Every structure is written in C-alpha cells, then in structure tokens.
Chains A and B, each alone.
Chain A
C-alpha cells in the first residue's frame, strides 16, 4: 500500500509542493504583517511547482488507486492552472483591493485553489471529481468574500448560494449514476454505462443531466450563468479575472473527460449542447451590449466566450476538442490581459464605469495599445491568437456538420465586435478631459506584457501551441 502511494507521488509532486507551500505561506502570515514574505514564498512555491511539473512525465497508469490520471491532457490543463495562478498573483500585487495585511491568508487560499484546479482535470473518479470541484468552489467563495466590506460579503454569499445548489444537484446526479451503474471510476463507468442505459434509459439520462448542471454552473453556461456578473462585480478585480479563466478552464477539462466517459450517451446529449451553445453566446453578447460597468461587461463577455468554447464540445470530434483547448489557451492570455487593463484603470480612477476608459490613449498609451490588442483578440480579429482559436473552433463545427452552430458563432462574433470597439472608441476617440495620466505598477506591466506578447506571438506563429495539443487523444 505504501509502495503504491510512494509511486503515485512521483507523478504528483507539483500538487504536493503547492499544498505544502500554501501551508507555509499561511504560517508566515502570522508573523509578517507587511505581506512581503508570503508574497516571495508564494512565488517560490509556484516556481518550484512549475519546475516539478516540467519533470513530471506522462504516465498511462493511474496513480492513487486510479483516483486520478496524469496523462497529456491533464498535464496541459495543469499548466493552464499554474499559469492562471501566476498571472493572478501579479495582478494581486498591483491591486489595492487586497490589502497587504491580509495577503498571507489570501495567497494561501489562492495556491490551494491551484491544487484544486489541478485535481479537477486529473480526476478519474466521480467522488474525486466532486471533491475537487468543491475544493475549487470553496476557495472561490473565500477569495470573493475575503475583503472586509459588505459588497464582497454579499457577493460571496450569493455566489455560495448558487454554487451550493449546483453542487447539491450534481451530487444527487452522481449518486443516481452510481446507483444505476455501480461504478465510480471513469474507465469502469465507460464500460457499464451502456448496459445501465439499456436497463434504465431515462434514469441514466436524468442522472447525467443533473451531474452536468454542476459543471455548467462553473463554466457559466446559460441558463446557469446568473451568478457570474454579480460575483465578478463583488469580487476584487484580480479574483474576478481568476474566476473568469481558471475554474472555467478546469471545468472544461473535466467536462471533456466526463463526456468521453459518457460517450455512448452522446447522441441524446448533443441536441442540448448545441442549443445551449448558441443560447450562451447569443445571450452573453446581447446583454454585454447594454452594460456600462466594466466588470459586468467583461462578465457577460466571458459568458459569450464560454459559448464559443462550447462549440468545441458540441462538435464532438477530436478536432473540436483540440480547437477548444487551443482557444482556451488563447482565452487565458487575452481575457487575463483585458482584466489586467481593467485593473489598471479601476485601481487608479476608482471608477468601474466604462467612462473611466475615456481618452486612455493619451493618459497611458502603452496600456491602451495592449488593451486594444486584447479586445480585438477577444473579438476574433486576425492575426491575433483569438482569431486562430475561433477559426479552428468554427471550422470544427462546420466539419462536424453543425452548420447552424457555426453560422450563429460567426454572426455572434460580429455582434461582439460592437461592444469591444466601443471600449476602443472611448480610449482613442474621446478626449481625456480632466482625467489624470495613469501609471500602472511594474507587476501589472509584467502581467500585461506577458499576455500581450502571447496574444500577438501565438497569433502569428500558432505552430508551437499546436504542437502541445498533439498528445490530446481524448475522443468524444
């Protein structure tokens, strides 16, 4: 038994380092009130974990008695999780909302969330999946509600209420599924789902639907998106950025794994997915058009982006999944970038209104230029990274014969341009008036620089990213 555990650890060092580091950060916070030491320790932990991840090989055997898998697919998503945590850390350093005195606890929760995110994409067992989702959700509620003010508390409580409902429903679905298939491990589930579906055709479907609700909630799929704008609005800006990318990416990873386990049922599930895909992007874009608060606008924008990502699942082909992962990587950079711009503006003007962007091109030219890059990439204008992702996603839909989804997506990306261009118009084509020049702090500059460089570079030369997608062999 201990032999198995030791062997399993070999593939799991990044998570171990991250957990241990989080605990150390938590302890040092007791002594360090200025928050410098926890910050440095967090970076050291992240660095060590990343180093351990480079050393981790892809193994076919499942460690910890099959509870998790460390294949190429989860490896890619573990990198996405680490990357999001790192960029969030940079943004927290630039943010006043997270005060230095509470940094220690904050950073510890952030690092622990990283462990949860990694577990989510490694989960190979229904209970493991449930626990990891809960892990991520709970740390999410804490991160939203941590600042000592009423708005944050309200937002966190709302977020928690929705999340609790969703995970209760999901757990119910899991228990039903377990009851009907007598399997918890994914590979077993894959074998037993067919006979179970034959025995209880409606019961199995019901269980799967309930189970998927929990994930739909995490990726803000319409109609389970209602928490999104409220939670983002209440959360500190860096946390909103984190929530818009990391749990979503992990949930997509888990969703793909679930669906490949439930492949025999795909025929029955796909009509829901295709209609909800169209609904998600359309609703997100249409509502985003009417927003005047930057956080709410970005929240609806992320809902619409989730709709684009769902196309990869709806297509139901290996190419669709690859396109999804490609777009997810693009989304990581461009969405974090857009939020980082918003952090810079909100931090210095104290206003979350879109008007705070007025005349940004004269107040902070580099920032405005980077912001245009992210917005155009989100809108899918070539030759940026976002366009490449969209191109493959829409193409995958067409290839899978989902013409309606592809047409809706293309039309949606034209609609979305309107509100992205509107921000650009405010930045470039409006005079700054009385507003002050902006000088973002170095940490934020670094975050912006990394995101901008990636958005531009991978758009021009996507070859390198595509080579990472090679090992993804999950087929729906």
Chain B
C-alpha cells in the first residue's frame, strides 16, 4: 500500500519546505506543520479498520539487489506500530498547536516548526520501519532532531552544551545497537523486522542473548536508562513543547518500542538484564525526582523513572503492558509538560521557590495539571491507573520482590508528583505568581484535549472495554474483571503519597525521629546531587580521556623529542654559528648571494627544529620492530 509513504512523507516535505522557504512563509509555517501532522493523524485513523481486523499493512521496495542478500526496505503497520502512530500523531498535532502560542515571540519561529516536522517524520519512519537499517537511520535522525531542538536557544551556553551531551551520550548506546544489528545480519542474513520469530528459531541462544543485549544497549541510551540517563535532565534546556513531545512522550519511548518490536529476539537472560536495569532506573530516578526544585527537572526524572517502569514490564515478559503504559504515560507526561510550559509562560519562572498558589490565577492549567498528576500517580479509574495496575498484577504473579519494589516506586511517584503539584498551585501566592496570567486559548485548548485523554483513554485497556487496546496489538487472553484489592492498594498508595507530599514536601514537617535525621539529611543530599553520577563520569572517564587525548597529541607532534633534545640544541647552536657567519661575512660581501643562501638555509633550519630526524628515526624503529615482530612470531 503505497499510501503508507504519505505518513512520514507529508511531515518530511513540510520540513523541507520550511527549511528552504521558512522566512518567506513566516507565521503560516506553524499552521502548515499543524495541518501536516493532523493529516497524518487522520491517515492513521483511516487505517484502523484494517489494523483492527488483524492485518499487517506493508509497502516495500527493493533497495539493494547486488548485496549478498536482497535488501527490501519497507514500511509496515501492524497493531503495535499503529498504536505508536496514534500516540505520535495525536500528541504531535496538539503540541504543534500549543507551540504556536508558546513560541510566539521567537525570532526563529519557522525554523522551530521545520525541526518539529522533521522530528515527526523521522519518528513516524522509526515506528513504521520494517527493516533494521531503516529503523536505525530514523533512530539517528530523531537523535539529530533532538540535538537541534535541545540547542534551539543556543544563545544560552547551557542549551548548546546540553544538546551536544544528549547527542553524544545516546550515540554511546547506538554503537551497541549497531553492533547488534551487524551481528544479527551476519548470523541470520536477514534484517527484516517482520520475521524475527523465524529468525529466533535458527539462531543459537547465546548469540540471541548477545544480539538482544546489544539492541537493549541502544534502548538504554535513547530511553535514558541507568547508566546513560544523564542526558535527559539536561535536555530540559530546550523549549518546553520540545520537552513534552520528544523528551517525554515519543522519542525517549523509542527505546521501549525497540525492545517491544524486537521482543522475539530476547532470551530469558537478556530479559533479566532489562528487568534489572529498568527496576534500578525506576527507583533511582524517583528518589531524585523527590528532591528536585526545578519544575521541568522533576518531570524529567519522573520520565526516566516511568521509562524504567516500562522496561521493568518488558523484563517481566509483559510486552503489551509495557506498551500500554507507554501510551498512557505519553498522554499524561505530555500534559504535565505542557502544563509546566503554561506555568513558565505565565510566570517566567521554573523554580519551585518562586511558584506558589497559582491555582487562583491559572485555573485551566491548574485543573488539567491536577488530572495529569492524579492519572500518572495511579488514582483509580484514571488512565495511568489501568496501566500501572496491570504491571503490578503481572509482577505479583511472577516475582514478589519485584512487586514490592514497584509498590515502593508507585508510592514515590505519587509523592513527588503531588509535591510538585502542591508547591506550584497551593499555598499563598508568591510575588511572581501574583503577576501570572492564564495562557492564551491556543495553549489551553491542547491542555484540555490532552486532559480528556489523560483521564479517559486508559479505558481502552480496561476490562470495561474488553481490553480493546490489547486486542489491537494482538493479545487476546486477558484477565477479565477488576481486582478490588489492587484498586484499594492503588488508592492507598496515592493517598499515602499525598500525605507524605503534604507533610514533608509542602508543609516541610520533619517526620523522622531526631536520631535518624542526619541519615535522612545525608540521603537527601545524595539524591539532590543526583548521586554524583555526572561528577563521577567527569572525574573517572572524561577528564582522563581528555588528558590522554592531549598526551597522544603531544606525543604525535613531538615524538621522542626529549631523547633528541640534547642533539637538537647542539645542532641549533651550530646553526646559530652558521647564521652569524652568514651575516658577518657572506651577507656583507655579496647581497645577492645572501638571499640565495637564506633560501638554501631552509635545510639546516629544518633540522634545527628537531622535528624531522626524530620522525625519521621513529619510522626506522617502527620498521625494525615490525620486521622483528613478524619474524619472531612465525
């Protein structure tokens, strides 16, 4: 079905148009982007009948016919990618709409929308790719767009630095992914994503473990899992709509999508790795989120933590649940970020110190933010509840220690979200809050629409709608009915989180007994400094690396200089004598000859610099070493 090309094609063409003629198009470029994304959304919806019927729609073209295998690149849509398409196109459209208001005064207005369209095109390509190579290309392109958008306000040096950090850190993960793809290619001869289940049959389990672990390494980078999570909080330097779309709802979830898509390749061993990393990230990031005081950074760590939860679900072999949570989280987190953006737009502040009591001044932002917070915390019957509940149930059935860790994680999640909410919207208004104003309708309309999703979209995965979501992605056996115990547990966790947030986060009460306070303080400081991971990387990896680089460079430019220094200075003195001789005798005698001498004098000057003969010596030494090495090894 060639029409599939339109889905990534329309935003791609829009991006090219805006890049070329952005200045001339001016403010209309935003509407062009919104139109392009909305059209992709409707195209996706138009596919729903085919997808619901369980079809796999594909379009492919022969790309290489000379290579050892025929390489057929293609786009395809099945339940899994259709769900992702809906998420990306719907949230993308709403965020583009919101950006019209948010980026209103920016001098590079049309450039912003060009990047945004390009990002959406690459993301849609990533989701629809039917071939590892195409997927990898889109994977790198979304990274590039993310880099461009994080550093969009490059006048701020922090933004420029954050963009680079994000690009390079995720690239570390990508190297693993590329190796995984290469090994898969040479061991199975196929890079088609459609027939991974058959590939699994033919491969040795150890090779499968290796391949899947390497692919997961790519996901660790993209989805900001421990230990490559450091780039995501810094990425918040970008414009807030970008944080909402790329660094919360879609791109960072690409890692989860990758694991879900290549799920047939994962062996029990590699799934244990996924589980361990996911669970560690979930808890680790949640504790940091408790201590952050910047509204966007709290949300960034929350995103890392929730991505960890999705990975945990994957590690529990519950791929559909991970995907379900991905979708629910996307809506909630996009709403949270847009709400935060609205707050920043209205107050020009993003430090919690300066934000209090906003609910009086920004009523729509307040209500929608509250819905998102409650939904993501897992308050019963809101969207986030259904997905989190299902993961908890799955954990309870498989591993109890994972279950209790997730309960702790859910409590932490509710606590930091409600702390954020209380400190922004309640209390007596701060001076900045008093000047706040509600955002224009073009920003609040997406908020309201997203709030409806954040509250209700979860029903599609609930027993009340017979698990429609899971049937779309091809899972038909789901537990019918609601476990009352789980509902009660979720409600209790939200209430517990609220109580903690109210007492400690909002009213600043000390709950710990006096004897334990130093330990509490110590833990708080550790979390507040993000467990010093950045500092550790800087000291343990980057600094030594740079030092090594400089050392290499010096060595390469002045090889064995020290050894020949004595000889060099001797020659130099000789040369000086020669020059004096030139000046005193030859120069005075015949001026014309002197110029010639100076030109000839190039040779001794060269030798004086002490660069040439060490180089030559080095070459001779290398030749001898090579010859001896080879002959000796024979």
Q: Is the CB of A286 within 8 A of B549?
A: yes
Least Cβ distance of B44 to chain A in Å?
Answer: 24
Assuming the contacts A268-B634, A428-B154, A462-B64, asked whether A290 and B553 have C-beta atoms less than 8 A apart, the reply is yes
Residues of chain A with a CB closer than 8 A to B559's CB: 226
Q: Is the CB of B66 within 8 A of A467?
A: yes
Per the 8 Å Cβ criterion, residues 358-373 of A in contact with B are none
Assuming the contacts A283-B552, A418-B168, A421-B168, asked whether A411 and B175 have C-beta atoms less than 8 A apart, the reply is yes
Residues of chain B with a CB closer than 8 A to A387's CB: 137
Instruction: Count chain B residues whose beta carbon lies closer than 8 angstroms to a beta carbon of A.
Output: 61
Per the 8 Å Cβ criterion, residues 86-132 of A in contact with B are none
Per the 8 Å Cβ criterion, residues 609-624 of B in contact with A are 611-612, 615-616, 618-620, 622-623
Residues of chain A with a CB closer than 8 A to B457's CB: none
Least Cβ distance of B519 to chain A in Å?
Answer: 40
A135: Cβ under 8 A from any B Cβ: no
Per the 8 Å Cβ criterion, residues 585-600 of B in contact with A are 599
| Residue from A153, A166, A410, A467 having most chain B Cβ neighbours under 10 A | A410
Least Cβ distance of B538 to chain A in Å?
Answer: 15
Secondary structure dominating the interface of A: helix
State A334–B619 Cα separation when bound (angstroms): 30
A165: Cβ under 8 A from any B Cβ: yes
State A395–B552 Cα separation when bound (angstroms): 29
Q: Is the CB of B553 within 8 A of A226?
A: no
Of B74-82, B159-167, B386-394, the one contacting chain A is B159-167
Q: Is the CB of A463 within 8 A of B64?
A: yes
A205: Cβ under 8 A from any B Cβ: yes
Residues of chain B with a CB closer than 8 A to A411's CB: 175
Q: Is the CB of B183 within 8 A of A272?
A: no
Q: Is the CB of B627 within 8 A of A210?
A: yes
B202: Cβ under 8 A from any A Cβ: no
> What is the count of residue pairs linking A and B with beta-carbon distances less than 8 angstroms?
156
A269: Cβ under 8 A from any B Cβ: yes
Least Cβ distance of B346 to chain A in Å?
Answer: 29
Residues of chain A with a CB closer than 8 A to B164's CB: 421, 425
- Contact flags A387-429 to B (C-beta < 8 A → 1, else 0): 1000110110011000000110011011001100100010011
Residues of chain B with a CB closer than 8 A to A202's CB: 631, 634
Residues of chain A with a CB closer than 8 A to B630's CB: 205-206, 209, 268-269, 271-272
B174: Cβ under 8 A from any A Cβ: yes
Which of B605, B612, B623 is A213 in contact with, Cβ under 8 Å?
A: B623
Residues of chain A with a CB closer than 8 A to B179's CB: 394, 406-407, 410
Q: Is the CB of A161 within 8 A of B168?
A: no
Nearest opposing residue in chain B for A291, CB measure: B553
Q: Is the CB of A414 within 8 A of B172?
A: yes
Least Cβ distance of B239 to chain A in Å?
Answer: 15
State A463–B62 Cα separation when bound (angstroms): 9
Q: Is the CB of A287 within 8 A of B178?
A: no
B603: Cβ under 8 A from any A Cβ: yes
State A268–B632 Cα separation when bound (angstroms): 11
Residues of chain A with a CB closer than 8 A to B141's CB: 382-383
Nearest opposing residue in chain A for B66, CB measure: A466
Q: Is the CB of A161 within 8 A of B175?
A: no
B151: Cβ under 8 A from any A Cβ: yes
Q: Is the CB of B186 within 8 A of A398?
A: yes
A319: Cβ under 8 A from any B Cβ: yes
Residues of chain A with a CB closer than 8 A to B629's CB: 272
- Contact flags A458-476 to B (C-beta < 8 A → 1, else 0): 0001110011011000000
B42: Cβ under 8 A from any A Cβ: no
- Contact flags B356-372 to A (C-beta < 8 A → 1, else 0): 00000000000000000
Q: Is the CB of A226 within 8 A of B615?
A: yes
Q: List chain B positions with a Cβ less than 8 A from chain A.
A: 63-68, 133, 136-137, 140-141, 144, 148, 151, 154-155, 160, 163-164, 167-168, 171-172, 174-175, 178-179, 182-183, 185-186, 546, 548-550, 552-553, 556-557, 559, 599, 602-603, 605-606, 611-612, 615-616, 618-620, 622-623, 626-627, 629-631, 633-634
Question: What would 25 A/B residue contacts be, using CB atoms closer than 8 Å?
Answer: A153-B602, A157-B602, A158-B612, A158-B615, A205-B631, A206-B630, A210-B623, A213-B623, A230-B611, A286-B553, A319-B68, A381-B144, A382-B136, A383-B137, A383-B141, A387-B137, A395-B186, A410-B178, A414-B175, A417-B171, A425-B164, A429-B160, A430-B154, A431-B155, A463-B63
Give 3 nearest A-B pairs by CB, closest first: A382-B137, A429-B154, A290-B553
